[in-house]
Amino acid sequence: MSTPHESDGYLAHAPGYVANDGPKLITSRFEHSDSFTLQRYLATGGYNGLQAALRATPQEVHQQVREATLLGRGGAGFPAGVKWGFLPPGKHPYYLVVNGDESEPGTYKDRLLMERDPHQLIEGCLIACYALGLQQCFLYVRGEMALAQERITAALNEAYEAGYVGREIRGSDFSVDIVMSQGAGAYIVGEETALIESLEGRRGMPRLKPPYFPAAVGLYGQPTIVNNVETLSNLPWLLTNGAEAYRSYGSETSPGTRMFAVSGHLQRPGVYEVQHGVTTFRELIYGNNYCQGIRQGRELKMFIPGGGSSPWFFGEHLDLPLEAKPVGAAGSMLGSGAIVVMDDTTDAVKAAWRVVKFFARESCGKCTPCREGTTWLEQILRRILDGEGRPADIDLLLDIGDNISPGPYPAAAHGELEAVPFPPRQTTICPLGPSAVAPVVSTIRRFRHEYEAKITRRDPIPVMAVPAGAAL
């Protein structure tokens, strides 16, 4: 593949972002090469949302967010306004933790938001803190995102200096401290309780549930709201323009816009902000405004609709809208907004192996089924790819999957099953282990013949060369 060109819409100063004609509630500043500076931010309506919030009471701000039905953008799609309401009264201090540990394979929208528009995120944090009466916010940025860390640090310094963060913000009696924290490079820390553990300085391992929500017992044992970067980045626009304006975008149940990171075998992969719940996969993948179809006119083989942990989709799912409910009903999930498209040149087994390998590497090692099972799956797939597969391996893969994530696996054919059912079908604490099962089951179900072809093919076993003089 050739490198993206500016003429195709790629912005050199915003790698991964493609200029398009879609709505721009949160990506409006990406076109500016200095979008991360306070100067540009203020010149483009920055901190207006905060001013609007400060003019209202915290309850009114909370009510606006509730009315806008702002859905969490981290993966579960839980309404932020409802989540905020979970804080138990009177158990001060409360904390706001920003989940900037975006690491789902295929997802890179939060990185762009943090790199290109850090002030928008900071303003979102301030609005959330104001609405909930918090004074302390922790901004946890994934360890590998050096540029995001730099930009946020610089933006925080600017904001403190200009009096947007800190004591008595802009002459009001509202004070908030925002602290940036760096991750140490673990996928699992994207799970909110593991993130809190990491923030407290411990091994990033998910906490045991119950308590189910950090809103009850979170950071340092205090009630804590954990919100995703994109969720909070919506707040400045929402407060500036109001809930009604916000609801004019997207569908009734999923208002506003949503960012999708589309990658893979596409003409124009990139991050796009689209109307939530209205746009379909087909529009996003084939639409002229977005990805412009499969590369070199090839055929679509399969795509991952919601990040590495979601079950895979195929051609028949293209007309589903980008909305959690219908995607869930079809047997997968929209997750964190990462769509990975694979064309007909893709080896299904190898693709599954690559995703499983990721989860095996990222397992925290706490629960037995995930620690041992994901690596075992990876080893078997590797062996099949190496021509050492056995006929029993396919059923073994499925059975190992069943021991990590027991019960019938959701699929389009079993539409009544929820993609993220309750009670969860997992023998593990968190969903990481089951995530590794998704690609295996998806590909075996659809492309069993590819597995069988690899297994019946017997590659000659290479003769091990013994170096001369090696001690045996």
Partner 1 sequence: MTPPEQNNTVEITVDGVAVSARSGELLIAACERNGTYIPRFCYHPRMSSVGMCRMCLVEVDTGRGFALQPSCMLTVSDQMKVSTNSETAKKAQDGVLEFLLINHPLDCPVCDKGGECPLQDQTMAYGPGETRFVEEKRHFQKPIPISETVFLDRERCILCDRCTRFADEVAGDALIHFMGRGNHTEVNTFTDEPFASYFSGNTVQICPVGALTAAPYRFKARPWDLSETLSTAWVDSVGSRVALQASRNRLLRVLGADADAVNWGWLSDKERFGFEALNSAQRLSSPKLRQAAADAEHHWEDVSWGEALERISADLAAAAAERVAVLGGARLTNEAQYMWVKLAKGVIGTDNVDAQLGDGLDPAVVLGLPRATINDACKPGSVVVLLGPDPKEELGVLYLRLRHAVVNDEVTLIEITPTSTGLSHLAQHCLRPAPGRTAQLVETLLAEVCSGTAEDHPAANSTSEDGAEDGAELREAAKCLGQAVSTGAGVTVILGRASLAEASGGVEAAAYALADLETVRFLPALRRGNVLGALESGLAPGLLPGGARLTEASEDLSDLWPQLPAEPGLDAAGVLAAAADGAIDVLLLVGADPLNDFVDRDLAYRGLKGAGQVIAIDLFVNDSTELAASIVLPAAGPSECDGTFTNIEGRVSLMNCKVTPPGTARPDWMIAAELAERIKPGSASLLDSPEAVRAELVAVSDVHKSITEQALVENHLEGVLLASTERAGMLSAPGAGTNAGTSVGPAAEIPDGAYALIAARTMYDDGVMLRHCESSRNLAAAPRVWINPADMEAEGLRDGAAVRLVSDCGHIEATLASEAGVSAGSLKVNWLAPGAPANSLIAADSHVTAVRIQPR
Which of 84, 213, 313, 376 is the binder for partner 1 (CB under 8 A)?
A: 376
Q: At what angle do helices 58-68 and 229-247 cross, to 10 degrees?
A: 80
Q: How many residues does the chain have?
A: 472
User: In the numeric block, which tokens belong to residue 430?
Assistant: 């968190």
Query: Nearest distance from residue 342's CB to partner 1, in Å?
Result: 25
Query: Nearest distance from residue 389's CB to partner 1, in Å?
Result: 11
Which of 31, 177, 347, 402 is the binder for partner 1 (CB under 8 A)?
A: 402
Query: Nearest distance from residue 454's CB to partner 1, in Å?
Result: 16
The smaller minimum CB distance to partner 1, of residues 31 and 393, is found at 393
Scanning residues 377 to 396, which ones bind partner 1 (CB under 8 A)?
A: 379-380, 383, 390, 392, 396
The smaller minimum CB distance to partner 1, of residues 222 and 403, is found at 403
The smaller minimum CB distance to partner 1, of residues 283 and 362, is found at 362
Q: How many angstroms separate the CA atoms of 442 and 431, rounded?
A: 17
What are the C-alpha distances in Å from 353 to residues 266, 301, 343, 442, 452? Answer: 21, 16, 17, 12, 15
Residue type, 360: A
Does 414 engage in binding with partner 1 (CB under 8 A)? no
Scanning residues 341 to 370, which ones bind partner 1 (CB under 8 A)?
A: 360-369
Strand residues in 315-388 grouped as ranges (E): 338-343
User: In the numeric block, which tokens belong to residue 115?
Assistant: 């790199």
Which of 85, 88, 211, 406 is the binder for partner 1 (CB under 8 A)?
A: 406
The smaller minimum CB distance to partner 1, of residues 243 and 381, is found at 381
Scanning residues 139 to 198, which ones bind partner 1 (CB under 8 A)?
A: 186
Piece of 3-11, 166-174, 252-260, 397-405 that binds partner 1 (CB under 8 A): 397-405
Q: Are strands 177-182 and 224-228 parallel, antiparallel or unpaired?
A: unpaired
Comparing CA positions, the residue from 341, 339, 344, 343 lying closest to residue 327 is 339
Q: At what angle do helices 118-132 and 48-55 cross, to 10 degrees?
A: 10
Q: Are strands 177-182 and 136-141 parallel, antiparallel or unpaired?
A: parallel
- Count of residues of this chain found to bind partner 1 when the rule CB under 8 A is applied: 39
Residue type, 276: H
Which of 375, 387, 418, 445 is the binder for partner 1 (CB under 8 A)?
A: 375
Scanning residues 205 to 234, which ones bind partner 1 (CB under 8 A)?
A: 208
Tell me the three state secondary structure of residue 303.
strand
Contacting positions for partner 1 (CB under 8 A)? 186, 203, 208, 360-369, 371-376, 379-380, 383, 390, 392, 396, 400, 402-404, 406-407, 422-429
